[in-house]
A and B are shown apart, each in its own frame.
Chain A
Amino acid sequence: MPINTVHIGAGAGFAGDRPGAALAVAEALAVAAQQGTPAFLIFEMLAERTLALAQLERRRDPDAGYSANLAALVQPVLKLCLQHNIRIIGNFGAAHPQAAARRLRAMAQELGFKDAKIAVVSGDDLSARLTPADLAARETDGALLKDRKDIVAANAYLGAQPIAEALAAGAQIVVTGRVADPSLVLGPLAHAFGWDWSDWDRLAAGTLVGHLLECGPQVSGGYFADPGCKDAPDLDRLGYPIAEVRPDGSAVITKPEGSGGVVDLRTVKEQILYEIHDPAAYLTPDVVLDLTGVELAQQGPDRVAVSGARGHARPDTLKATVCFESGWFAEAEISYAGPNATARARLAIDIIRKRMAVLQPGLSLRADIIGVVSSFGDSAGSDLAAAVTESEDVRVRFATRHAEAEVAKLLLAEVEALYVAGPAGGAGVRRHLVPQLASASCLIERDLAAPRMELLP
């Protein structure tokens, strides 16, 4: 019997997403699954640098290197998903998908599912195949990789095909490393509906559904509320999104009944354009998506119909992200409050700039006054210099970055010394120093990545 609807939900939109948020989605999917509708739950947990951090973990511990939040996010829904054949697809494999798959198998066995089928998608890791010089030659924007030796991770964004193959092989859980975020959704849709890998309009439609789901609740009322202007109710129990997808790729975006948040034209429009450059050409490994003809219609409370995506042939190259070590980042803050607080804050900045110019000439240093201008301001400080806002409760924030930790620490020591050697009433110093990873983008030939799928034996 041909399938006429697939339900697919998002359980996480980033590595640090909320444990337990997926449960209401899984419960709604279970109802659909019981009525015979194929159901899938995706977890997107891999930002640009997350994978490099995982690679560093794997260097320290050969059994680590997958998402630290894997168990916290998947455990609450695992039993329900395995019971009701809600198939899970997640990029929580990070730098070590095999280890993540073994962990998931152990979790399933503890729940009494001895033979859960778990697949691993790999081949995104380029570090064994491309030298730093090979990568530098393929860098797209700038020359950050030139002569660089300290590369931590180099991964291509794989597409949806190996995910669909894993599902065709019967996998109940598909663990990936780096794949394009929308491919986590396109893989199950292409598998369920049997879409051809050159049916560009359907691949585009499925990619659009993936794009709308990949950031979890950002389409269902998260990253949205502006009180009195555009409200979203009950955000404390924000519902994560579910797409009900038709064989032509058109879909209704919704969320679990009774959950908080909102799905309306405004939330969907904001997410359609999120992190988009040219709306006529959104590039993924699977297709080039053209959003310009997309039509939306509110079909009822928290139900928005999405149609009209168009597709063009997929790009010849794959995007890859290369991460490398990038020195130390130091940040320190101090508060000033009460009469003339802003003037005392400005004096503190003046003192620190002069002291640091003597201690470490040429060090790049940023200073903000939180409460006057900080988020909007430029790093050179011209917005802060021009600001006329006065506040009686401000926080001064300093930041620097340097290859040597000892140099970055000089700033931390000087900010702490403002307690005794700065303006009156300086309070509440907090400081931290963290190693930094930076990233660069490359375009690589498709045959340099080697996507493969294997079922865990």
Chain B
Amino acid sequence: MPTAIQAETLSKTFRDFWRRPCVEAVRSISFEVPAGQIFGLLGPNGSGKSTTLKMILGLLFPSAGTLAVLGSSPRATAVKRRIGYLPEESYLYPHLTPQETLAFYAKLFPLAAADARRRIGELLDMAGLAHARHRPVGEFSKGMARRIGLAQALLNDPDLVVLDEPTAGLDPQGARQVKDLILALAARGKTVLLTSHLLADVEDVCQQIAILFNGRILARGTLDGLLAQKDKTTLTFPTPSDPAALKRILEATRAAVGADPTLDHPRQGLEPYFLQVIQDAARQPDATDSGARPAAPLAPFLRQ
């Protein structure tokens, strides 16, 4: 499988005004992100996640080690044409409207004007901000600004999408939409590298993860490889109407494995339950909302 990002003994030491080393943010980490995969970088605050991302984007320079992004140096302009980046905070020009913001970023890519206009319209629809396209983004809530940030990251239909805390500040609907978007991008063969504090979100979308702490990778691998408890088995079946049938199943299991099985009813996740409640409420005729209104799950140009 081709590699989208390859880091070999990558280190980053920040220096003070007098060039003295002051913070060792990343310490000799090695990892690779296979193309077409969703890779999660996890870790507490100050573990080196954002520093690693910024080296991948060519914004920070490694102190030691090698780093290749899409087969080239991360500082190469040709590589940056194929990257989309959502920063941790939605850094936007507060006086610009969403339309102007996306138009500005579109001009930084080799996009034809008509193509750029079409993509901007589709992304505004996808972000649910078409109705607010003429309001300055400085007036937006954090979630709405996040959606514009995500839209600007996708303008160039990137091969590598770098998302720093993509669901931070979003409501559950927005977070679900972002996760669906990440899965849809990966289904189209795009590589997604993300960081998040929200472990449930990472578990929902990532195929591989690396856990960083104090600038070092402590664990790395596929989610199944790291999390599956191979010495335990879950069996799910419809609850039998006859309680005696359940007892017979338990006795048979105990006899087969020589240990007491655990019996429980599986629970629905809170996220799908919440989304169902909100969707039902939104269908009421008197429902109003001044914030983001998700319209299209995925911009058409991102589906092609």
Q: Judge: A and B partners, yes or no.
A: no
Residues of A within 8 A of B (CB): none
Residues of B within 8 A of A (CB): none
